[in-house]
Structure 1
Amino acid sequence: MNTSVSSLKEDLRTLGAIDVIANRAIALTRQCTGYLTSDQEEEGKEGEEREVDVHFMKLFRQLKLLENILCMSKGNQSYLTMFDGSIFISEISKFLVLLGDYLISKDLSTRHTFIVTETLLGTLRVFLNITHDNALASYRVGEQEKIIDSICNFTFKLAQSVPVIQQFDILVLCLSLLINLLEESSTNVQHMCSVFIDVASTSSNPYGDMLATQALVKLFLTHYERGESASVEVPTPTKQVISHESPAKSPKVRKDLTSTFTSRMKSGIQPVPKKMKERKEEKMEEDKAEDKEQDEEEEEEEEEEEEEEGNISFDPLIFKREDFDSALSQAGKHMEDSIISSYSAVLVALLIQNDSLPCHKSSGSTRSGLDSVQRILKFLSAMD
């Protein structure tokens, strides 16, 4: 880390700035908690909802500050972990659990729920930074009531319902946070193995009615297979442009009209006889007439082709831009699938490492379960 940035973060701690920001975040958390637990919010009053959104946005900004202050700063991580008897972790954990319960029961397409979800993402980022390579913080966060259960529910329930723009963020943050918690604490590993996803399994959410460990393996396989089958193809518009481009005309075969008045002889250059000269001049006129007739036929064919195409003009620049956007979108999806499958595989590896992953029968046989584990191990080997 840059020395000046590191020293600035130390100054924020020594001068008491972290205390001010943490206390402000706790106060806003309690205000938002009061709204989430009150019966008045069920009325859905527009004016009150806007006022509450302001509190959530203020909390989000405080969390953003803490996220940056904690990033790659061991001193600040430890300080905030033990701040006022770990009250910060306790209050934020309760708020995070409450946020999950609130969002899972709501319509997530509204502006209000979008803001609340952004606040949840900000809370996850703070926990992710505070637990990074920090055993004490991982233990403190993991021991909070229902925190691991809630993170699993965010991964396998909430992420399947939020808008697409927020789905990847939730999955990556939750998986990363679970890695931090499990890597530093065997107690958290044991707890993770007992979490059950108590939601009905549907076509939109295939991770219900199973243990979190089973859902984790299924999540890996889903994104791993999707990433493997992804291929970037040339989009149709480009093919249309290519197919409608006028083919390069082959050079017309012309008769060699050189040596009209002379012919090369072994003995040298000699005058061409008058009759031969006249014949060659006639031949030249015939060739010119044939070429003119051929050009007229080609022009007529081109006009007919344009009429058949409906006189549609294709702009290569526009179609190339669309093709680029399409290829970029496919590459982005492939990258997201690769990241999610990678983090899922690391989590499974942490469970296997401690012999904590229970053996589950799938479709009445352990064959598919063994195949899944083999694919995960193969994937992890490729990552080395």
Structure 2
Amino acid sequence: MDLDRASLDLMIRLLELEQDASSAKLLNEKDMNKIKEKIRRLCETVHNKHLDLENITTGHLAMETLLSLTSKRAGDWFKEELRLLGGLDHIVDKVKECVDHLSSDGDEEKLVASLWGAERCLRVLESVTVHNPENQSYLIAYKDSQLIISSAKALQHCEELIQQYNRAENSICIADSKPLPHQNVTNHVGKAVEDCMRAIIGVLLNLTNDNEWGSTKTGEQDGLIGTAMNCVLQVPKYLPQEQRFDIRVLLFLERERAAQLAESKTDELIKDAPTTQHDKSGEWQETSGEIQWVSTEKTDGTEEKHKKEEEDEELDLNKALQHAGKHMEDCIVASYTALLLGCLCQESPINVTTVREYLPEGDFSIMTEMLKKFLSFMNLTCAVGTTGQKSISRVIEYLEHC
């Protein structure tokens, strides 16, 4: 549908209807069943797995429609109107409802439904808080930081669930009676937990990034710092390899060594790559404003030789790019790790001593060098003088004087 303010307003007002109470007074049971059957047939064509066709209400349909929308599709005005019309209130309340069910739902299907419900609401909230200070402030304040409280509880539940289901899978034994080592959570509960966890982290990042009020409210949540550290240090080993980068920002030394190794391998590949030798039977010519080598004579054997050389060069280039990509990932993870450790060390002599014990010869220079490279990269790709760069510079200066 083409969304406009009137349509958005209608959906939000429909959310306020209480289980079709007003409609039920006007229609008898037979007519109501006819309407529900028509709705079921319509819903079957949209392939929405979250629709509860056995429990159709106006509010349920309105919420599903709202959650199916994104700010990118609707335009920037959507973010503001969603707040002004009260849509954010309903979505935050829905998050609380789903999170409250996480502690009481023993049935797996109900648990997955609650996780999916929270995740879809959080995805919308994550989208409408990106670069939108008004929505960020509104959500931090709404009902005494209800969203932050619910997000903190949900993250704690997810941390417990993802390890719980992983241990359950690891208890399965193969033929030689050896337990499966750190098998990834592949069942539908594990997938729902992973998706919900990423959505929670996305919302909390938006509410705390360069926001003292949001950071303070988030830091006040009981046990959240410990939960966050467990998500960083323990949870990634339970996730598929390709998904760990989204959550993991620790194991600094391991990533720093991996980055150095990848860099040396890339240098070797480039150094050993064969240089192109043009056949002597040709000349440089200007064609369409470009200087190109144009061969005047070529035997079949020469053409095959050049083709083979080009294939070898392409293969070497692909290898170099693969190593460069791995090097970039290791550098970014190591940099964020160093930044996090540096922040934890500030104004905390105990943390300085603890981190120093794990560093080679107790020297912080390995961390500061990585952060300086990261800062140089940011200076090339971002606007100079942003808050992020200032924070990194501040951490570097602090660590250099430790």
Both proteins in one fold, TM over 0.5? yes
Sequence identity, in percent?
A: 28
Q: Distance in 2 between matches of 1:106 and 1:146?
A: 22
**Residue in structure 2 matched with residue 8 of structure 1 by the alignment:** 78
**Residue in structure 1 matched with residue 253 of structure 2 by the alignment:** 221
State whether structure 2 residue 398 is matched by structure 1 residue 339.
Answer: no
**Measured at CA, do residues 116 and 221 of structure 1 come closer, stay the same or move farther in structure 2, by a change above 3 Å?**
same
Q: Distance in 1 between matches of 2:358 and 2:119?
A: 46
| Unpaired stretches in structure 1, ≥5 consecutive residues | 42-47, 173-215, 251-301, 303-313
**Residue in structure 2 matched with residue 134 of structure 1 by the alignment:** 211
- Higher relative contact order (Cα pairs below 8 Å, separated by 6+ residues): 1
- How much does 1:56 deviate? 2.8
- How much does 1:62 deviate? 1.4
**Residue in structure 2 matched with residue 276 of structure 1 by the alignment:** none
- How much does 1:378 deviate? 3.0
- How much does 1:321 deviate? 6.4
**Measured at CA, do residues 7 and 354 of structure 1 come closer, stay the same or move farther in structure 2, by a change above 3 Å?**
farther
1:170 to 234, 247, 265: 247
Q: Distance in 2 between matches of 1:70 and 1:227?
A: 34
1:111 to 167, 184, 187: 187
The superposition leaves residues 90-129 of structure 1 with CA deviations (integer Å, 9 ceiling, x where unpaired) of 1221111111011123223313212311110111001000
Q: Secondary structure at the match of 1:30?
A: helix
**Residue in structure 2 matched with residue 21 of structure 1 by the alignment:** 91
State whether structure 2 residue 198 is matched by structure 1 residue 158.
Answer: no
- How much does 1:349 deviate? 2.4
Q: How is 1:44-55 mapped onto 2 (pairs within 5 angstroms)?
A: 48=109, 52-55=111-114
- The answer to whether the 8 A contact 2:185-2:191 is kept is yes
- How much does 1:342 deviate? 1.3
Q: Distance in 2 between matches of 1:160 and 1:13?
A: 38
Q: How is 1:54-65 mapped onto 2 (pairs within 5 angstroms)?
A: 54-65=113-124
**Residue in structure 1 matched with residue 128 of structure 2 by the alignment:** 69
Q: How is 1:188-207 mapped onto 2 (pairs within 5 angstroms)?
A: none
**Residue in structure 2 matched with residue 368 of structure 1 by the alignment:** 360
- The answer to whether the 8 A contact 1:66-1:126 is kept is yes
Q: How is 1:161-310 mapped onto 2 (pairs within 5 angstroms)?
A: 161-172=238-249, 219-231=251-263, 232=266
Q: TM-score, normalised by structure 2?
A: 0.55
**Measured at CA, do residues 330 and 367 of structure 1 come closer, stay the same or move farther in structure 2, by a change above 3 Å?**
closer
The superposition leaves residues 250-287 of structure 1 with CA deviations (integer Å, 9 ceiling, x where unpaired) of 9xxxxxxxxxxxxxxxxxxxxxxxxxxxxxxxxxxxxx
- The answer to whether the 8 A contact 1:234-1:323 is kept is no
**Measured at CA, do residues 323 and 23 of structure 1 come closer, stay the same or move farther in structure 2, by a change above 3 Å?**
farther
- The answer to whether the 8 A contact 1:361-1:369 is kept is no
- The answer to whether the 8 A contact 1:6-1:73 is kept is no
Q: Distance in 2 between matches of 1:127 and 1:169?
A: 14
Rg larger for: 1
State whether structure 2 residue 198 is matched by structure 1 residue 121.
Answer: yes
Q: State the 4+ residue runs in structure 1 displaced beyond 4 angstroms.
A: 4-7, 247-250, 314-325
- How much does 1:318 deviate? 7.3
**Measured at CA, do residues 361 and 20 of structure 1 come closer, stay the same or move farther in structure 2, by a change above 3 Å?**
closer
**Measured at CA, do residues 66 and 321 of structure 1 come closer, stay the same or move farther in structure 2, by a change above 3 Å?**
farther
2:222 maps to a residue whose letter is E
**Measured at CA, do residues 56 and 377 of structure 1 come closer, stay the same or move farther in structure 2, by a change above 3 Å?**
same
1:129 maps to a residue whose letter is N
- The answer to whether the 8 A contact 1:346-1:380 is kept is yes
Q: Secondary structure at the match of 1:110?
A: coil
Aligned residues: 263
Q: CA RMSD in A?
A: 3.9
- The answer to whether the 8 A contact 2:98-2:118 is kept is yes
Q: Distance in 2 between matches of 1:59 and 1:164?
A: 25
Q: Distance in 1 between matches of 2:310 and 2:85?
A: 57
Q: Distance in 1 between matches of 2:236 and 2:86?
A: 37
Q: Distance in 2 between matches of 1:64 and 1:33?
A: 21
**Measured at CA, do residues 347 and 88 of structure 1 come closer, stay the same or move farther in structure 2, by a change above 3 Å?**
same
- How much does 1:23 deviate? 1.5
- The answer to whether the 8 A contact 1:33-1:95 is kept is no
Q: Distance in 1 between matches of 2:86 and 2:370?
A: 46
Q: Distance in 1 between matches of 2:192 and 2:314?
A: 33
- How much does 1:57 deviate? 3.0
State whether structure 2 residue 381 is matched by structure 1 residue 349.
Answer: no
- How much does 1:316 deviate? 7.5
- How much does 1:76 deviate? 0.9
**Residue in structure 2 matched with residue 264 of structure 1 by the alignment:** none
The superposition leaves residues 15-38 of structure 1 with CA deviations (integer Å, 9 ceiling, x where unpaired) of 111112212222222334433xx3
Q: Distance in 1 between matches of 2:244 and 2:359?
A: 32
| Unpaired stretches in structure 2, ≥5 consecutive residues | 1-71, 167-183, 282-300, 302-306, 376-392, 394-402
The superposition leaves residues 203-256 of structure 1 with CA deviations (integer Å, 9 ceiling, x where unpaired) of xxxxxxxxxxxxx5xx22221221122132687xx98xx8xx9x9799xxxxxx
